[in-house]
Structure formats: C-alpha cells, structure tokens
Amino acid sequence: MPARFDASNCPVPAWLPEGHSQTIYGARLAIHHRASFTRERVETPDGDFIDLDWAVPGPSRIPDPACTALGQGPALALFHGLEGSSLSPYAQSIAHHFRARGWTVVIPHFRGCSGTPNRLPRAYHSGDSDEIAFMLDTVRARLPQARWHAAGISLGGNALAKYLGERGTAASGLTAAAAVSAPLDLTAGGHTLGRGFVNRQVYTRMFVRTLRAKVLDKARRFPGVFDVVGVANAQDLYEFDDAYTAPQHGFANVADYWSRASALPWLRGITVPTLVLNARNDPFLPARFLPGPWDASDAVLLHQPAHGGHAVFPCGHVRPHLHWLPRRLERFFLDGS
C-alpha cells in the first residue's frame, strides 16, 4: 500500500513570497518561545561522548528511571539539523511547545554540536543511523515506561528516517516519528546547495565556515589524519564532504556518501507511524526530488505544503512566528493526521 498524502498548506504571510525569504526570516527573525535545558553528558562505546539537553515538566532535571511521575507520560527525542543544536530556533520552539503540554523533551546533540569539541577525528553525518539508535536507546533507558516519539529536522530528519526504514519493526519502541525538511535525496540536495547565488553565498557559506573551523581544529589535535588542504579550500558541501565527511565515516568519496546515506530508498521499510514533512518550496531540496506515495510505506504520511521554506514554516500576517511546526507535529503524534 502507498503512503498517505497531504497537500494542505502552511499559512505563511504573503510578504514572504518564496522559499528563501521564508527560510531566512524564519531562522533569523521569526518570533518563537524559548526553552531551558538541563545537560547530561553520555559516554559512547567508542570513547567519545554526546550531550543530551533535557526539558522536563516541572523543575528542570535529568530524568531518573525511578521517577514514576515522568515515567508514564509522553516523551520526544528531537534530532537537530546540520550544525544545529538545542539553541536553534526550531528546536527551542518545539521543545517549549511540548514541555508546556506535559511532555518530556530531549535534544541529543550530534558529536561536536553541543559547544564542546568531541574527542575523536570523526564527527557526524547525514546517514548515521547507528548513532540515532544509540541516542534513542540511551534516552529510552532513562524513561523506559514513557511513550516515546522522535522527530528529526533536516539532517537529523534524514538520519532518523533512514534509521526507521533500516530497522523496520525493530524500531517499534517508538509510538510515532516525524522527519521535517529532511534532504531525503542527499545527492540532489547537495548539488542544489552548490548552485545559485543565495544557496552558495548564504546557506553553503554558513555551513562550510563552521564545519571547516571544527575540522581544522581537529587537525591540530590529530596531525596527519585529515586532508587539511582539501578541507581548507572547500567552497561547498560537495568539496567538504569529499575531503572530510566521506573518508572519516567509512565512505569511498562524496558520491558514495550521498548515495548510501540518503533516506529515500528506506522509506518503504518504515513501520512506525511517521510524518515526512517537506515544503515544496524548500530551497535545500527542490519539489521534483520529493517522495511520492509509492516511494514510502503505508505507515508514512507525506505532507508537502506549497510553502514553508526549510525547517521553520513561519506563520502570522504581521509578525511571523514558529508555532505552526510544533502544532503540526503534535497533531500527528496525537491522532496520526
């Protein structure tokens, strides 16, 4: 059976007419609530660490498995996007929304994204489903009786969707999931970000600047491990991923990485009820590359509004806000629609 399909629109203001303006305004200027977190550091099996930011109902704390007050309630693990964190506006907005409604929210940071450099030469990548599995196992161990949900934004959405498709019924510990603005076809998305003035000079430059700085810092700690010249000269994600991400994470080259890490081929294997939400004007992934109903299982709801941009979906006529996305996630988590 094919996936369900929803084309209902996100009511963005008329004065933000296309994907770039919606994305940039939403990420930089839109009104959003702010959440506070309690941080927990967790050691990984390979000698590194990840940081978990918790927002729980009541006094801020890290959940204890023995705490029955939290143990039976709903919980959400939220995976951020490329170079994102718990400080990203979409993460703040979503965390505040769900915590205010009695949910436990945790934002696991991909390695190197919590404000502290990770210990190993490796970092994180778009298809790291094993890392998603470790993070989910870790947070579920804190609250084993909670009704766990998961959502991923952009890179985090792709990694989560790939995890769900690969694991199939083995991912049944989740009540429901959502992948938002996920670049499900990494090859199409990567090449798109390398083309056009705004894509190259705004988004790509921002990503490459922070990624390059992190890797060049690693190069000082791990001399001789990286292609320092390739990283230093990288002008787009194709060149950066070819010089660093692919070789450090077990891929032959950037083409191999983008192909094998894409979630699109795994959507048919998803058995957990999953919302896959992509605006059709997302400047990171053109509409022609978005999945259709026959590309996903019947556990998936594909929602593709005409507007929303990338990851933020600003709404409101005068002063746009970021409330639409958390409300959309809540609706799906509560009734599957």
Instruction: Specify whether 69 is located in the same domain as 151.
Output: yes
Q: In the annotation, is 130 catalytic?
A: no
Task: Give the tens place of pLDDT for each residue, 134-191.
Answer: 999 999 999 999 999 999 999 999 999 999 999 999 998 999 999 999 999 999 999 9
Find the CATH number of the domain harbouring 94. 3.40.50.1820
The pLDDT of residue 73 is: 94
Give residue 65's pLDDT. 57
Average pLDDT over residues 214-220: 97
The residue annotated as part of the active site, out of 88, 154, 262, 297, is 154
Tens of pLDDT along 78-116?
999 999 999 999 999 999 999 999 999 999 999 999 999
Same domain flag for 168 and 232: no
Annotated catalytic residue, options 86, 88, 282, 323 = 282
3-class secondary structure, 85: coil
236 is catalytic: no
Q: pLDDT category, 60, cuts 50, 70, 90?
A: low
Residue 207 CA to residue 195 CA, distance in Å, equals 14
Same domain, 217 and 267: no
pLDDT recorded at residue 72: 75
pLDDT of residue 71: 63
Domain boundary among 208, 241, 261: 261
Q: How confident is the model at residue 31 (pLDDT cuts 50, 70, 90)?
A: confident
How far, in Å, CA of 90 to CA of 22, rounded? 13
Give the separation between CA 109 and CA 17, rounded to whole angstroms.
33
- 326/334 Cα distance (integer angstroms): 12
Q: Structural domain of residue 60, as residue ranges?
A: 4-185+262-335
Q: Which of 97, 109, 310, 323 is catalytic?
A: 310
6-19 pLDDT, tens per residue?
A: 999 999 999 999 99
The whole-angstrom separation of Cα 247 and Cα 252 is: 6
Tell me which of 261, 290, 312 is where a domain ends: 261
Choose among 94, 122, 120: nearest CA to 107.
94
Model confidence at 294: pLDDT above 80: yes
Residue 279 CA to chain centroid, in angstroms?
15
> Is 129 tagged catalytic?
no
When divided into structural domains, the chain yields a total of 2
Residue with tokens 């927990």: 40
Is residue 162 within 8 Å of 182, Cβ to Cβ?
A: no
| Whether residues 176 and 237 fall in one domain | no
Among 45-59, 66-80, 319-333, the minimum mean pLDDT is found in 66-80
Q: What are φ and ψ of residue 79, in 5° steps?
A: -100, 125
Considering the domain architecture, whether residues 31 and 69 belong to the same structural domain is answered as: yes
Residue 230: other Cβ atoms inside 10 A: 15
* pLDDT at 318 > cutoff 90: no
Share of the chain above pLDDT 90, in %: 92
The secondary structure of residue 316, as a DSSP letter, is: -
CB 84 within 8 A of CB 154: yes
Question: Based on the domain organization, do 194 and 177 belong to the same domain?
Answer: no
Q: What is the pLDDT of residue 67?
A: 55
